[in-house]
Structure 1
Amino acid sequence: MHSRYRAVYQQWQDNPEAFWAEAAKAVHWFTPPDRIFDPDQGVYGRWFAGGETNTCYNCIDRHIAQGRGAERALIFDSVMTGEKRVYSYDDMLVEVQAIAAVLANLGVGKGDRVIIYMPMVAEAVFSMLACARLGAIHSVVFGGFAAHELATRIDDSEAKLVISASCGLEPGRVVPYKPLLDQAIDMARVKPQACLVLQRDQLHAPLRYEHGDVDFGQAVEAERVKGTQVPCVPVAATDPLYILYTSGTTGQPKGVIRDNGGHMVALAWTMRNIYGVSPGETFWAASDIGWVVGHSYIVYAPLLAGSATVVFEGKPVGTPDSSVFWRVIEEHDVKVLFTAPTAFRAIRRDDPDGDLIYRHDLSGLRALFLAGERADPETLKWAERMLKVPVVDHWWQTETGWAIAGNPAGLGLLPAKYGSATMPMPGHAVEVLDDAGHPVAAGTLGNIVIRLPLPPGCLVSFWRADQRFRSACLEEFPGYYKTADAGLVDEDGYVFVMARTDDIINCAGHRLSTGAMEEVCAMHPDVAECAVIGVADQLKGQIPCGFLVLKNRVERDHALISKEIVDLVRQEIGPVAAFRTVMIVKRLPKTRSGKILRGTMQKMADGLPWKMPATIDDPAILDEIGEILADHGYSCNRQALRA
């Protein structure tokens, strides 16, 4: 199929406002915008100024008004409980209106902030949409987050209300949420007026009615029985839809703000043009609503596009095994899967020959999209061989909300280059600059930036911290948004994201990409996944150090494997890399979204102070890393700073 990408990208370049005005026709407006882009509003300008709309209306009511109310909209599939349920748009409207009525009864209105601290259950999605229906601003905090981190988010957002659950479910254990929530509220300066608590069968939590606790199920059922109708509140296109916090280096979290109008226009455009998904088809983003992928592609984009979305409670491996993704795809007729590369590395580690894949009918699957961390070519090639569908690595961030660069299936796929996120998407003028802000030649490693203004759907600022947004993202390279990613654009315009700028190491005066070394390590047939960090060296400044997780059933001598990998890096990158240290580990420390905690490992190895990451999946892994570093002679700092 011939790709229309270049023609569409050119349309955007020729007239950005006309391009996004056309895209905005996919959205229902109570009042159409009077300006597509207003350069005088906000930090760098605002999209769709003067327009009034409502995100919940566009996700649910609009489809019902078009006669599609009986079509499936949300598929809940919990491996942890065995529960499966399909909700139509009509069903969703009942649930969302009932929750919205409860919120309104508790005093929540337009502009109020609501913290959602829940596991991956359908009620979490309904609660997000109920906030949007009222014009309230939701802030989802990953269920099970530490009390201190939750407290900082309650304080920063000045949350009026918290919606939570009695527990979350992890393989082999139940995680009580209520004690963490109570502790967070005790710590917080701002005291929410009420807490709605969803009681799960696996653990009932004692409610503190004197503190405003309300049983979620009972309150919502009462409104459901009454058939309470709650109309959608018109909000300005430029009003915030949500705040999503990312961990701040200063200990103060950064609240990324997403608006209503630009967010909807961008996401609706991506579903058809990037992912190639049509109304009525099923799209599955195997993520969590605590992360930006969950916001954009579990909740909002599929529903805006009239596609069915999958809400999955489980893990890619261990619930019960590495076949669970294939079962979900087959059972729910998933057309496009979007997940993190780390999920496929885990599946590949447990089932390297794909024996479990062949037991399922995946003939309906058209494409796999990977994002969240750089997709190493070996994992990508393995997925292509096993699934026999296009596998697309695309690149975006919490701040951008959708793909900066990718390979647009809906426009016709471009020829792929392994290791590249392919081409910039419309709205993103991607350039590479040196540290002084000068453009570099094609193929030269540098700082990846995006020319302002950012397109619709990207962050408009940090919550109540415009100057912090300017200083963190806009001031180092005037006229550009700093992605804080390092990489290159080749002579064909393909974007290669090699590492975070913090992960570029300076070895004896040579700037080297740890991502390029990881790519080589992953080429070894025994390696399931890997991480390369730069550690301090008196002679060279920094030298690379590799951490490798081997595939299951590998019984070869570890010392021999290590030598082979050192030789491979020397052969592929050259002796300039000074790659001599390899450590074989059982697992790598990661966030719950699958990002490897390279920065934390580097601080440990260098003996620097470090803080236990709030988003870490399993803190015990860092203890194991510390022991291995010590065994290799590093006088590492194994003690985390107190939060």
Structure 2
Amino acid sequence: MSEQLLANGCRWEDTGLARFIRDYGHVDLAGLQACATEEPERFWAEVAEALALRWTRPYRRVLERSAGPAWPRWFVGGELDLYDNLIGRVAREDPERLALSWEGDDGSTRRYRYVELDEEARRLATGLAELGIGRGDRVAIYLPMVPETAVVLLACARLGAIAMPLFSGYGADAVASRLQDAGAKLLVCADAYLRRGRRVDMLAEARLAAARSAAVAQVLLVARDGGVQPASAGGGARGNEIDYRQLVARSAPQAGAAPHAADAPLMILYTSGTTGRPKGVLHTHAGFPLKAAQDMMMAFDVKAGEHIGWITDMGWMMGPWLVFGALLRGAALMLFEGTPDHPRPDRLWQLVERHRLTHLGLSPTLARLLMGEGEAGLPAAGALASLRVFGSTGEPWNEVPWRWLFERVGEGRRPIINYSGGTEIGGGILACFPGLPQKACGFAGPIPGMAADVVDAGGRSLRAGPATERGAGTQVGELVLRAPWPGMAAGFWQDDARYLDTYWSRFAGIWVHGDWARVDADGHWFIEGRSDDTLKIAGKRVGPAEYESALVGHPLVREAVAIGVPDPVKGEAAVCFVTLAAAAGGVGPEAWAERERVLREHVAERLGKALAPVRVHCTAALPRTRNGKILRRLVRAAYLAGPLGDLSALEDPAALDAIRACAEPAGALS
């Protein structure tokens, strides 16, 4: 059984979660979680009060479930001015407080105090209203991680327009499909962004996408580098482009309150699938911000006046989560445009130092990449002096890089808040908690209010089940949720049937999340990967993370990914792909044969001979998103020459060629 670790820089009694437990009369964390399950109306009312959520019209009831668990109504009858809760009240009461800092790929920076962010967002709201944008209109946000992304989100919340953040790396086809699906009326885009010192054009893609989308009446252009001016009337593709800066400059700050119903649509976040059109996940004015801020308070211990940054994109859930959650906590957020290892491997730690971050979120893949840089990937002495907490989400950890981050980088003082949920959750299901013990790669448990369980194929709980053959804890099963929560998706945009089929069709009244999970004897939770990624070898279910952890633990390996392939004897067999650590040097086909044997034996020693991979391929790159998440489904599809599905989130298409080369009968090893 793995050891429990406690970061020595955080005291439990000083955390926001501990204070919540004391203030609302709960005995302990277990008692709070029980209350949230047994008395959800009491619990969520306490959360809203603890977050100081102000209502312009009080709600009649916290929760109404007459339509069933898939369609709960939260804070029924209530109205709130979300904009004022996020930015207006702090701008009045503490106008000089930092709200947002930004750093570009080239090192340029911008800072907004609450009063400055408030003024620009109110000016933009006036300008958007003059363009005909109002309640219920969809506004697509196709921007890099620049401050204007947050300003547009705030202005939309004020107007009651539905924001639609899109990944900044999408091409025209991916943008157009989402514009068409949502019927977006306005596209806010940039001319370009900088990445690794190179200018990447966005405007050409935006113009193509807008031209294919009949509902898009206007394009609002943010000039990232000043190199492109909007097309005037009669010019450009459709002559419908407006300059963001000019619009803001000529518009007076919108005055007055901006109340909206608690369940009014706030945002559509698109997620990609292997087949079919993207899913537009709908979130509400009260639900998404409340869940984001609750998680920041209870899981991350973000306090008013602190400063949180996350390496992400506004098109992924963690981008809007960062904006809404940080501002509702009265904290500051940091947006970073560039690549966290450019121009030097320690760029990430320089961000912490320059922006005085108290909280930093990153992916396990990014930690693995920096660890592979050796001493160059470590922070300089004193660079992390301001940092209290690491955050991590997006994929399962491997123990070696987790310990590297906790021990070498964090010096055993800073907890790693492992955080797992998703776009449809509005935040996290499982997390760690500062001041409480944690285990490498694991979670302390469900976030209060998330009625999580692990179930077998029949929907029966496995929380008290027998140990697996490998003694890793209780049995692996499906991660499910047995009760609704305010941040959950309010369905898919104009596709209720698909929403019900995706999450509610397996077991009656139970949300099936799509992850394999287990809970060990000490009550720590572990995610074993997506349930559709799990391998079943000779009847034994194995998470790909187990293979990947074993391989990354070998000094030859920098990164690893495992997939299942058809096998005539076992039904399925494991094939692994690795990139080499810098210390391993180059390797040709003949030398690789010996190294492959070593790695296969290394995995067999840890998982058992019956589970040894049939092949371990060396490849130059693995397909990933820009924020570092490896796209395992694409690895499998490319290797087996199957349909690739949606490629819109892929950063480097050449990585797929490297995987395909491994599948060739001759010269397969790179």
Q: TM-score range by the shorter chain?
A: over 0.9
Q: Which amino acid letter does the alignment assign opposite residue 19 of structure 1?
A: F
The reply to whether residue 314 of structure 1 matches residue 334 of structure 2 is no
Change (3 A) 1:14 1:477: closer
Pairing partner for 1:192 from 207, 216, 222: 216
The reply to whether residue 444 of structure 1 matches residue 469 of structure 2 is no
Find the counterpart in structure 2 of residue 427 from structure 1: 449
The reply to whether residue 344 of structure 1 matches residue 367 of structure 2 is yes
For the residue of structure 1 that corresponds to 2:375, the secondary structure is coil
| CA deviation after TM superposition for structure 1 residue 205, in Å | 4.9
CA contact (8 A) 1:275 1:408 kept: yes
CA contact (8 A) 2:138 2:186 kept: yes
Find the counterpart in structure 2 of residue 638 from structure 1: none
Q: How does 1:184-263 map to 2 (within 5 A)?
A: 184-188=209-213, 190-201=214-225, 203-205=227-229, 207=231, 209-210=233-234, 211=238, 212-223=240-251, 227-263=252-288
Pairing partner for 1:8 from 22, 27, 32: 32
Distance 2:223 2:32 in 1: 49
Q: Which amino acid letter does the alignment assign opposite residue 607 of structure 1?
A: A
CA contact (8 A) 2:43 2:449 kept: no
CA contact (8 A) 2:478 2:531 kept: yes
CA contact (8 A) 1:174 1:202 kept: no
Distance 1:135 1:609 in 2: 40
Distance 1:41 1:47 in 2: 12
Find the counterpart in structure 2 of residue 286 from structure 1: 311
For the residue of structure 2 that corresponds to 1:399, the secondary structure is coil
Q: Which amino acid letter does the alignment assign opposite residue 584 of structure 1?
A: C
After superposition, give the CA deviation of every residue in 1:563-617 in whole Å (9 maximum; x if it has no partner). Answer: 3321121111101213131111222101223221111221222232223511001
The reply to whether residue 498 of structure 1 matches residue 528 of structure 2 is yes
For the residue of structure 2 that corresponds to 1:627, the secondary structure is helix
User: Percent identity, aligned pairs only?
Assistant: 33
Distance 2:482 2:338 in 1: 39
Change (3 A) 1:355 1:340: closer
Q: Which amino acid letter does the alignment assign opposite residue 131 of structure 1?
A: C
The reply to whether residue 300 of structure 1 matches residue 324 of structure 2 is yes
| CA deviation after TM superposition for structure 1 residue 95, in Å | 0.7
| CA deviation after TM superposition for structure 1 residue 121, in Å | 0.6
Distance 1:522 1:355 in 2: 17
Find the counterpart in structure 1 of residue 86 from structure 2: 59
Pairing partner for 1:155 from 163, 169, 180: 180
Q: Which amino acid letter does the alignment assign opposite residue 337 of structure 1?
A: L
The reply to whether residue 40 of structure 1 matches residue 66 of structure 2 is yes
After superposition, give the CA deviation of every residue in 1:274-333 in whole Å (9 maximum; x if it has no partner). Answer: 111211111112211111011102x1111110011101111111x211111111111221
Q: Which amino acid letter does the alignment assign opposite residue 457 of structure 1?
A: G
CA contact (8 A) 2:356 2:387 kept: yes
Distance 1:631 1:335 in 2: 51
CA contact (8 A) 2:431 2:447 kept: yes
The reply to whether residue 265 of structure 1 matches residue 290 of structure 2 is yes
CA contact (8 A) 1:28 1:62 kept: no
Q: Which amino acid letter does the alignment assign opposite residue 248 of structure 2?
A: V
| CA deviation after TM superposition for structure 1 residue 559, in Å | 4.1
Give the stretch that moved more between structures: 236-245 or 323-332: 323-332
The reply to whether residue 594 of structure 1 matches residue 628 of structure 2 is yes
Q: Which amino acid letter does the alignment assign opposite residue 572 of structure 1?
A: R
RMSD: 2.0
Find the counterpart in structure 1 of residue 403 from structure 2: 381
For the residue of structure 1 that corresponds to 2:427, the secondary structure is coil
| CA deviation after TM superposition for structure 1 residue 402, in Å | 1.3
Distance 2:198 2:638 in 1: 29
Distance 1:208 1:527 in 2: 54
| CA deviation after TM superposition for structure 1 residue 634, in Å | 7.8
For the residue of structure 2 that corresponds to 1:621, the secondary structure is helix
CA contact (8 A) 1:520 1:569 kept: yes
Change (3 A) 1:177 1:354: closer
| CA deviation after TM superposition for structure 1 residue 561, in Å | 3.7
TM-score by length of 2: 0.89
Distance 1:467 1:251 in 2: 14
List runs of 5+ in structure 2 lacking aligned partners. 1-10, 13-17, 19-27, 467-473
Find the counterpart in structure 1 of residue 420 from structure 2: 395
Distance 2:368 2:345 in 1: 11
List runs of 5+ in structure 1 lacking aligned partners. 636-643
Distance 2:241 2:516 in 1: 47
Change (3 A) 1:208 1:498: farther
Pairing partner for 2:169 from 144, 166, 171: 144
Find the counterpart in structure 2 of residue 640 from structure 1: none
Distance 1:208 1:614 in 2: 30
The reply to whether residue 325 of structure 1 matches residue 348 of structure 2 is yes
Find the counterpart in structure 1 of residue 486 from structure 2: 456
Find the counterpart in structure 1 of residue 469 from structure 2: none
For the residue of structure 2 that corresponds to 1:395, the secondary structure is strand
Distance 1:376 1:121 in 2: 32
CA contact (8 A) 1:144 1:168 kept: no
For the residue of structure 2 that corresponds to 1:125, the secondary structure is helix
CA contact (8 A) 2:166 2:175 kept: yes
Find the counterpart in structure 2 of residue 616 from structure 1: 650
CA contact (8 A) 2:454 2:478 kept: yes
Give the stretch that moved more between structures: 426-435 or 83-92: 426-435
Change (3 A) 1:16 1:560: same
| CA deviation after TM superposition for structure 1 residue 632, in Å | 6.3
| CA deviation after TM superposition for structure 1 residue 236, in Å | 0.6
Q: Which amino acid letter does the alignment assign opposite residue 55 of structure 1?
A: L
| CA deviation after TM superposition for structure 1 residue 160, in Å | 1.1
Distance 1:577 1:208 in 2: 64
| CA deviation after TM superposition for structure 1 residue 261, in Å | 1.0
Find the counterpart in structure 1 of residue 573 from structure 2: 543
CA contact (8 A) 1:291 1:593 kept: no
